[in-house]
Amino acid sequence: MDSAMIPQISRKQSERGFSLIEVLISTAIVTVGLLAVVGSFGAAVASTQSAQEDLIAKQKALEAVESIFTSRNTQQITFAQIANVSSGGIFKDGYQPLLAAGADGLAGTSDDVAYPLCPGGVECLMLPGADGVLGTPDDIQMSLDNFSRQILIVPVLNPDLTVNPNLKQITVNVQYSKPGQGKQHIYTTNALISSFR
């Protein structure tokens, strides 16, 4: 009789369901996994929102460098003028708001002027509105008042540590903060410019 009872007991144990503890543990594991997925979606959305500001910062930095090279190539300014004001040049020291280039066509100089159609005189961009088409009545004006640009121009040293009179390094930093956040983001671009065209 004992031998006949053993197969029935093992069969009943193999047919039993999940215990409450096993269900709770599996629920906790699934919940942690879902929270991780939701968190990654949040990070992706935040990254997408900052991509626009990053692109603007990059373009404003490259725009400043290109205008300096163009002015040198067209001989609108001399090589000696390609320096910061503190070094006897025409480019303002420190971070400056994104104003319109003045008569010299160069950003970051003393003749920069306010944009007449933008609030605060700082550069603004037109973005497509809800219809996704630029140039329609629902377009949105985005002010770049949270952006500032710094143009640093320093001499380049020769291997013997003397100043190379025909070469300068241009560093353009564009700094911006995201609305609602105090954190500053900086985009930097570097270039070398020579006295030769």
Residue 178, domain extent: 19-112+145-194
DSSP 158-194: PTTS-EEEEEEEEEEEEEEE-TT---EEEEEEEEEEE
> Contact at 8 Å (CB) between 60 and 147?
yes
Q: Is residue 2, in this structure, part of any structural domain at all?
A: no
Return the pLDDT at 3: 54
Return the pLDDT at 127: 86
Q: Is residue 139, in this structure, part of any structural domain at all?
A: no
Q: Is residue 138, in this structure, part of any structural domain at all?
A: no
Return the pLDDT at 66: 95
Q: Is residue 54, in this structure, part of any structural domain at all?
A: yes
* H-run or E-run covering 53: helix 20-73
> Contact at 8 Å (CB) between 101 and 90?
no
Gap between the Cα atoms of 25 and 189, Å rounded: 52
What does DSSP assign to residue 22? H
> Contact at 8 Å (CB) between 175 and 147?
yes
Q: Is residue 131, in this structure, part of any structural domain at all?
A: no
Q: How far apart are the first and last CA of the chain?
A: 106
Q: Is residue 7, in this structure, part of any structural domain at all?
A: no
Q: Is residue 51, in this structure, part of any structural domain at all?
A: yes
For 72-122, how does the pLDDT look when each residue is reduced to its tens digit (9 = 90+)?
A: 999 999 999 999 999 999 999 999 999 998 888 899 999 999 988 888 889
Q: How many CA atoms lie within 13 A of 94 on its CB side?
A: 3
* Count of domains forming the chain: 1
> Contact at 8 Å (CB) between 185 and 176?
yes
Return the pLDDT at 63: 94
Q: Is residue 132, in this structure, part of any structural domain at all?
A: no
Q: Which of 67, 40, 44, 30 is nearest to 149 (CA)?
A: 67
Q: What is the pTM of this model?
A: 0.73
In single-letter form, the type of residue at position 146 comes to N
**Tokens coding 95:** 């971070």
Give every CB contact of residue 184 below 8 A, 6+ residues apart in sequence.
175, 176, 177
Return the pLDDT at 64: 94
Positions in the chain short of pLDDT 70: 1-16, 49, 179-181
